[in-house]
A and B are shown apart, each in its own frame.
Chain A
Amino acid sequence: MLIRLFLDRLKTIPLCMLLVGGFAISSHADQEVNVYSARQEALIKPLLDEFTVETGIAVNLVTSKGDALLTRLQKEGANSPADVLITIDAGRLYRAQEAGVLQPIESETLAAAVPANLRSPDNLWFGLSKRARGIVYAPDRVDPAELSTYEALAGPDWKNRVCIRSSTNIYNQSLVAGMLSTEGQDAVDTWLAEFVPNFARPPQGGDRDQIAAVASGRCDVAIVNSYYLGGMINSEDPQQRQAAERVAIFWPNQDDRGTHINISGAGVTASSKNTAEAIALIEFLTREESQQWYAEANNEYPVRDDVEPSDLLQSWGEFKADEVDAVELGRLNPQAVMAMDRAGWK
C-alpha cells in the first residue's frame, strides 16, 4: 500500500517537471525587447503592436527626443535596459555611433533591404524611412519654371518671398550639412549670406506654419518636409486642407545632386540583453508591409527600392534624391549650425 502510494508519487514527478519546464518555456516565450524611440508613439506603436502579434515578443516603449534618449543610454551604461534605439534623423544615428552605444549586427535581410548610403558602414544602424525636404510654392504667384535649386532661392528675385523655420530645427541643420558635404564651406557661406536676407519674416513656427504662410500670401515659397504637406492634405481640419490645396510641391536640384533627404533609423544598443529579438524587430521594421505603412501613416518614403510609395506620394512625382552619405549629415551638423549662426539665421 505504502509502496503503491510511493509509486503514484513517482508518476507525478514527471508532471511536476513538465510544469516547471513549461514555466521555463513560457518565460522563454515571454520574450521582450525594450525600445528607446525618438519616433513618437503614434508613428511607431502600431508597427510594434503588429510585431508583437506576429512574433509573441512583447515590446516595451519609451519615446523622447533623440538627444535625450542618447544621453539616457550613455549614462545608464552597460546596465541600460534598452535594446533598440530609434531616431528620426541621421545626425542622431551618427552621434549614437560616435558615443559607442550601438553594436554592429549581422543581418543579410537588413543588408539586402537598406541601400548602402542609408545605413552605417559598420552595420551599427539602418535607415527605416526617408523624409524629403522640398520646396512648397503658391502656383498663382510662382511659375514652377522659376524654381530650380535650393541655391537659386538666394537670388535677388526672391527678396522677402521665402519662408523657412528656425535653424534650430534639425531638418534645416541636416539640409545645410548635406550642402556642406557636397558643395564645401565657402559655397555654403556665400549662399547663406544671400539666402537669409531673402526671408519674408523672422523664422518662426513649424513646417505646417510655413505651408500656411505660403497659402495665405505671407510668402511665395517655403522649404518644408513633404510629409507635413501630406499631413495637411489628410487633415481633419478644413483650414489645413484648404491651405494645402493652395500650394504645390517642387523637387529642387534635380539636375545636380538631388533633393535633400533625411532618414529615420534604428540600431541595436551595445548594452542589449535581447539582441536576437532586437534584430528581429529592426528586420520587421524594414519588411515590405512596414515600409508601406510609413507612407500611409505619415507620408514618408520607404528606404527599400522595391516598395512603391503611397498614391499621394506618387502623385507628387518621382524625384532624384541626394545620395550624400547619411553619416556626413551627422558629422557636419555642428559646422552647419555654425554657418547658420554666422549668417544670422535665427
Chain B
Amino acid sequence: MEVADTPPVKQGGSQSARLRHFLWQSALVIAAGIIAAPVLVIISSLFQPFSDLWRHLLDHVITDYVVNSLLLMMGVAIGTSLLGVTTAWLTATCDFPGRRFFGWALVLPMAMPAYIIAYTYTGMLDFSGPLQSYMRETFGWQYGDYWFPEIRSLGGAICMLSLVFYPYVYLLARVAFAERSVALLEASRNLGHGPWRTVLTVALPMARPAIIAGVSLALMETLADYGTVDYFGISVFTTGIFRTWYGFGELTTAAQLAAFLLLFVVSVVVLERLSRGAMRFNAQNARAAQLRVSLVGWRAGFCCALASAVLIAGFALPAAQLALWVLRSTDSVDAQAFLSLVGNSFLLAAIASLCALLVALSLAYAVRLRPGRLATLTVATASIGYAVPGTVIAVGVLITLAWADNQLNNVLQVAMGSSGGLLLSGSLAALIFAYLVRFLTVSMYTVESGLSKITPALDDAARSLGRSPRGVLRDVHVPLLRGSVLTALLLVFVDVLKELPATLILRPFNFNTLAVRTYELASDERLTDAALPALTIVVIGLVPVILLSRGFTIGRGQHG
C-alpha cells in the first residue's frame, strides 16, 4: 500500500505546496495554450481591420446565414435529443427483444459521414431518383402533379444531421442512465410519482449534464458541417465563411466570421455552465443500477420497432445504398493503394484518439484536483475547436505551425548556418496536432461528464485512506470511468476517420486517407466510385464500436 506516500505531502510545508501549485497551474496553462493557439489565431482576426466587404455582407447575406444557422441548430437539437434520449433510455433501463444488439448497433450511424448520408438519401429520394421516377412512371405523373418532400432543403438537412449526430446524445445519456441512482428513482416512485413523471422529473434532470454535453457536441458538429449544407444549397454561417474565403478571396474576413461563430459558441457553453450552477449530479450508488424493466407484448414490440426504425434510417438504408453503388461501380481498384488508404486512416485515427484521451484526462483531472476560475477557463479555451469548421481550424494550425517552423529555421540559420526546411508543417505530427485541436472537446466532454458523476466524497475517502492523487485516479476513477474513457476513444476515433478538411490541407506529400479519397471522387460527382472508400470508413468505424460494446459488457461483468 502507499500509505507512506501521503503524510510527507501533508506535512510538506505551505511554501513547497504553493510552488507545486504554481508549477501545476503553469503546466496546465501552457498545455492548453498550445492547443488553443490555432483557435486564438482565428479569434485574433477580430483585431484586424474590418474590410469594406463587411458592408456588403451585412446588407445582403448575413441575415440569411444567421437565421438559417439558428433554425438548423434548433432542428438538430430537437432531433438529436428526441432520438438520442429515447433510444438511450430504452436500451439502458428496459429489457426487450434485441436490446443487447441495439445497445451497440445504435451507435453505428456515427460512422456515416454527414455529407455521405446526404448523398445517399438524395440519390434515393431526389426528383430524378429511383423512387420518384418510379412513381411518375407508374402513375403517369409529371413534375407538379404530386407533392413529395424536397430532400435538399433545410428540413432535409435537419433530418440528415440528426440521424448521424444523435449517437453523441445516445452514448452519453446511456452511460448516465446506466449509472443512475436507483435509490432516487425508487424514492420518487414511493412518493407516488408514476413512471413517466419519475423519468421527467428525476431521471432526465439527473442525466442533464450528459444530455447537454451530447447535444452540444451534435450542435458543434452541425455548425462545423460544410459538406451537407453546401450540397443542399442552404446558406448558413459555415457556407458563408467559405463563400467569403473562396469567392471573395478574403481570408481575414472569413476568419472574422469564424471568430464570431466561435464567440457565439463560447457564450452558449458558458451560459449553460452558469445555469448548471451549484447543482451536483453525482450518482450516490452507481452499482445498484442494474435492474431493468422487462417489457413484454406490444410494449416490447414498440421498443423494438422504434430502435429498428432509427437504426434503419440512420445506418442500414444509407449503407445499403452505398453497397449498391459499390456493386454498380466497376472502377478498377488498385488493391495495394487501397490497403494503404485503409492503413493510413486507421493509424491516424488510433493515434489521435489516444492522444486526445490522454490530454483530456490530464486536463479534466487537473481541474478536478485544483478547481478554480483559471483552470476552468484554460480548459474551456482548449476545447472550443470543435464548433469551428475543420478548414478554419486547419488554417489556424497552418498559420501556427508555419510560424513556429520559420522561427525555428531562423534560429537554425543563425546557429548552424543552414536551414533544415520545414520540420513541423506537412508532417504527420502536424496532422495529429490539428486533430487534437479540433477533437479534444469530444474527449473532454465525455471524460468530464463521467468524472462529474463520481462524487468528490469518493476522492476524499480514497485520499484519507492514503491514496496519492495518482493513486486515486488509478484505483478509483479509471475503473469508474471505464465507460466514459472507451466512449471518448470511440468518438474521437470515428471523428478522425471521417475528418476531411484538416487532413486535406495539412497532410504530407503522397499521403492519402479514405476520407480524402471519398471526398475527391464525390466532389467530382462520381458517387458510385466514392461509395467504396465511404463504405470502408463505415466498416472500420464498426471495429471500435464493437470493441466498445464488449468493453461495456466486460465492465458490467466486473461490477457483478
B14 at the interface (CB under 8 A from A): no
- B212-247 with Cβ < 8 A to chain A: 230-233, 235, 239, 242-243, 245-247
Q: Is the CB of B331 within 8 A of A337?
A: no
Q: Is the CB of B521 within 8 A of A215?
A: no
Contact of A168 among B243, B419, B511 (CB under 8 A): B243
Contact of A202 among B233, B395, B509 (CB under 8 A): B233
Contacts of B520 in A (CB 8 A): 40-42, 63
Contacts of A117 in B (CB 8 A): none
Nearest CB on B from A340, distance (A): 9
Contacts of A43 in B (CB 8 A): 524
Q: Is the CB of B421 within 8 A of A81?
A: yes
Contacts of B501 in A (CB 8 A): 68
Q: Is the CB of B419 within 8 A of A79?
A: yes
Q: How far is the CA of A201 from the CA of B325 in the complex (A)?
A: 27
Q: How far is the CA of A81 from the CA of B426 in the complex (A)?
A: 9
Contacts of B235 in A (CB 8 A): 346
Q: How large is the interface on A (under 10, 10 to 19, 20 to 34, 35 or more residues)?
A: 35 or more
Q: Is the CB of A218 within 8 A of B524?
A: no
* Residues A79 and B130 in contact in the complex (CB < 8 Å), given A62-B509, A334-B247: no
Q: Is the CB of A212 within 8 A of B128?
A: yes
Nearest CB on B from A233, distance (A): 13
A291 at the interface (CB under 8 A from B): no
Nearest CB on B from A149, distance (A): 24
- B243-292 with Cβ < 8 A to chain A: 243, 245-251
Contacts of B132 in A (CB 8 A): 216
B contact patch SS: helix
Q: Is the CB of B398 within 8 A of A72?
A: yes
Q: Is the CB of A67 within 8 A of B245?
A: yes
Q: Which of A7-15, A120-128, A235-243, A312-320 contacts B (4 or more CB under 8 A)?
A: A235-243
* Residues A213 and B128 in contact in the complex (CB < 8 Å), given A41-B520, A62-B508, A204-B152: yes
* Residues A165 and B510 in contact in the complex (CB < 8 Å), given A72-B398, A80-B422, A341-B56: no
Contacts of B128 in A (CB 8 A): 209, 212-213, 215-216, 218, 243
B559 at the interface (CB under 8 A from A): no
Could you tell me how many residues of chain B have their Cβ less than 8 Å away from some Cβ of chain A? 72
Contacts of A168 in B (CB 8 A): 230, 239, 242-243, 246-247
Q: Mark A181-221, 1 if CB is under 8 A from B, else 0.
A: 00000000000000000000111111111001101111000
Nearest CB on B from A129, distance (A): 14
Q: Is the CB of A68 within 8 A of B505?
A: yes
Q: How far is the CA of A228 from the CA of B235 in the complex (A)?
A: 24
- Listed in ascending order, the chain B residues whose CB lies under 8 Å from chain A are 53, 56, 60-61, 64, 122, 126-128, 130, 132-133, 136, 142-143, 150, 152-153, 230-233, 235, 239, 242-243, 245-251, 325, 328-331, 391, 394-395, 398-399, 402-403, 405-406, 409, 419, 421-422, 425-426, 501, 504-512, 516-517, 520-521, 523-526, 528
- Listed in ascending order, the chain A residues whose CB lies under 8 Å from chain B are 34, 40-43, 60-69, 71-72, 75-77, 79-81, 91, 95, 165-166, 168, 170, 173, 201-209, 212-213, 215-218, 228, 231, 235-240, 243, 333-334, 337-338, 341-342, 346
24 contacts between A and B (CB under 8 A): A40-B523, A60-B509, A61-B509, A64-B504, A64-B505, A65-B504, A67-B246, A67-B251, A72-B402, A72-B506, A76-B402, A79-B422, A91-B249, A168-B239, A203-B233, A206-B525, A209-B525, A212-B128, A231-B525, A235-B526, A236-B528, A237-B325, A334-B247, A337-B247
